[in-house]
Chains A and B, each alone.
Chain A
């Protein structure tokens, strides 16, 4: 269930955007802020606030890479899978993450702490290979630097 403050925030976004559907992405991001994903129940509540059908809203939710319709971990590890990183062996970083956390791409650790996903080129090509953990960016990665970075979130 949406909290009263979430409802307020979404209403505010709808007002700011003028029309309900215009605020779809913002509203879905509000739902995700605490839960980290968008469950069916909240999707339905948001669609009512926006004045659209659940299908219209789900069409938007399922379109975007970073609106999640399934649970994800507390921390998102996003390793760049773009060509500039690939050339500098960015794809090998997956092995380090697997060794450290036991998860491959698309998987979440059993304790719900980490989800590991690919991300399209993040504009750190001059510092390849690169990744993001939540909002933080890391470039010039080596297995050692990946291990160091992960420690901060444990």
Chain B
């Protein structure tokens, strides 16, 4: 990814294939921290917020919530609480996702600049990066970037002489998927067991230590400096859809070139698979794709012309999620894959809600039976019955509803595979 046009590939311009981070000097040469300078010296917080709203930037954490709108829920003005926080979600534990790692290791200063600008917009003098335990290299690079930014006056007191003070703090977690859910993340950041909170109140009103807090994903933050520097209009133009900007897409599985790439938002699935991922490996055919992590429904060959953006993917029965594809080939057992995924979610449930705490292990047990050839036809009925029982609205957070998305679509698309396990009393893929 070297020598890319920064206007077309803002997030990855300057990144090299050698795995090293874009250093501060190089980042500055590419226009780094000019967005922050422009925001702090030439724009008011409300103007920054408006620009982000106008850009149609949608949250890259998976749900696609419009970022400017999210910020606008933070109480501002004289009567609002003085203390507010910005928290960057760098927990990235969604199985199959590796896009935030790519950005954190590839260009940590871009993240810091995004945090300074966003904090200015919501009036936060302290922000946090909540980083997952396993991202050791990213932790080192973020620490280094924070200290470099300090020595250049991009962080600290009176940044650019604007009167705005800001500190960025890094918190490294100790490994639990649920900490990526934004309210669990805040609870964990307070030093308690990372269990979600009931919403409302939403974090923008009552977040970290009860103060107004915005939680945004790493990739969301990385876009902010470019929007401010180049404008909302430019941001919308580089996209191929109504959602603004580019997207870090990626692919894993038996494809010729697994990896991550920055491409215009709305790039069709077929292009991702056939051009960027180089198509299926010799001897392997496409059986299905999970488009955005382990909590998204499968997509099939017939969905390959779907533009990969937040509104189009649901029309094909799934979600954009993280945008990092897990490609399943025809020699991989879909029952085994869903079992693997369900084992993960059952293990990672925080245990607060009964459907999640009890339901996921129950489903895991049934899937294990079926996969190992001990299933019977009633098991499929039980699996199907559970789908609505773990759906949205029955639990405090979206872990359980997310967990059943792959199962639900597998039961629909790969029914024959489930039945074959039961009839043959073994996994036909073994």
Report A's interface with B, CB cutoff 8 A: 17, 19-25, 28-29, 59-60, 63-67, 78, 81-84, 86-88, 119-128, 132, 135, 137
Contact = CB atoms under 8 A, between A and B. Distances in A.
A83 B174 contact: no
Contacts of A23: 191
Given A87-B254, A120-B93, A22 B191 contact: yes
B324 interface: yes
A25 to B, nearest CB: 5
Nearest to A67: B174
B260 A126 contact: yes
Given A22-B189, A25-B171, A87-B252, 16 more contacts: A23-B191, A24-B191, A24-B192, A25-B173, A29-B174, A63-B194, A64-B175, A65-B174, A87-B337, A120-B95, A120-B175, A121-B97, A121-B344, A123-B98, A135-B136, A137-B137
A114 B8 CA distance: 48
Contacts of A60: 191-193
B191 A125 contact: no
Nearest to B343: A81
A18 to B, nearest CB: 9
Given A21-B190, A63-B194, A132-B134, A82 B344 contact: yes
B133 interface: yes
Interface string B327-344: 011001000110011011
B340 A83 contact: yes
Contacts of A83: 95-96, 290, 294, 326, 337, 340-341, 344
A82 B345 CA distance: 11
B95 A126 contact: no
Given A22-B191, A132-B134, A66 B252 contact: no
Given A83-B95, A125-B324, A65 B101 contact: no
Interface in B148-197: 171, 173-177, 188-194
A87 B328 contact: yes
Contacts, number: 122
A135 B177 CA distance: 19
Interface in B293-314: 294
Contacts of B174: 25, 28-29, 64-67
Contact of A126 (B194, B258, B290, B329): B258
Contact of A127 (B133, B137, B194, B258): B258
B176 A65 contact: yes
Contact of B253 (A28, A63, A84): A84
A119 B252 CA distance: 18
Contacts of B96: 82-84, 121, 125
Contact of A21 (B133, B192, B326, B328): B192
Contacts of B188: 25
